Amino acid sequence: MDTVAPESRPSRAPSESAVETRFLLMPSQANPFGTAFGGAILAQIDMAASMAAQRHCQKPVVTAAIDSIQFEKPVYIGDQVLLRASVNYAGRSSMEVGVQVIRENPVDGRRCQATTAYLTFVAIDEKTARPVPVPAVRPQTPDEIRRYENAQIRMQARKELRQKVKIKPQQEDKEAQQRSRKDPKNGEAR
């Protein structure tokens, strides 16, 4: 795996755009068992990840995909939730952002990793809303290099999966149009 950012475009280290934020889990964000709704955590993940992506490319970004989210430990009402987001990898106009969610007990300070997630963002032009190029990722620390290499593996796996399950929309549309043109009585074209 290539761990050096391409020289043909600007690059940034993940630490230059990393985001760390926190929130307090309130009763309105919890289920009857007193633990966080997954959607409440997911909304915060999306916000933190989008800020990291935007800081990396210095352009507006949109969420293209939430590739993976693992709810490992519950978050309880009253817990402080720490989110750490950083850009792991950048393609031409897209970026993979990893988010680590840590549950912290505010009374005793105990922490544990509650959730991890990987999201893909696309940088867009403000006027045209079309994708625009983003800086490459320049990993520097052993942890950044590991995340970069793992992101390359995930990126390749996503591409392969898309190819395996991809239905060509244009072909599907043509087939649907042909079916709708056939006479239901004898199956011939109208």
> Tens of pLDDT along 39-81?
999 999 999 999 999 999 999 999 999 988 999 999 999 999 9
Whether residue 171 is predicted with pLDDT greater than 90 in this model: the reply is no
How much of the chain, in percent, has pLDDT values that exceed 90?
A: 76
* Local confidence band at 1 (pLDDT 50, 70, 90 cut-offs): very low
- Give the three-class secondary structure for 114: strand
pLDDT value of position 168: 62
How many CB atoms lie under 10 A from the CB of residue 54? Answer: 17
> Tens of pLDDT along 76-124?
999 999 999 999 999 999 999 999 999 999 999 999 999 999 999 999 9
- In the chain, which ranges are E strands? 11-12, 19-24, 61-71, 80-90, 94-104, 111-123, 136-137
Note the pTM of the prediction, 2 decimals: 0.81
Rounded CA gap, 97 and 90, in Å? 9
* Local confidence band at 169 (pLDDT 50, 70, 90 cut-offs): low
44-48, 70-74, 156-160, 184-188: the lowest-pLDDT one: 184-188
Domain residue ranges in the chain: 11-139
Query: What sign does the CA torsion over 175, 177, 183, 185 have?
Result: positive
Is residue 104 within 8 A of residue 110, CB to CB? The reply is: yes
Q: Which CATH number fits domain 11-139: 3.40.720.10, 3.10.129.10, 3.40.640.10, 3.30.2350.10?
A: 3.10.129.10
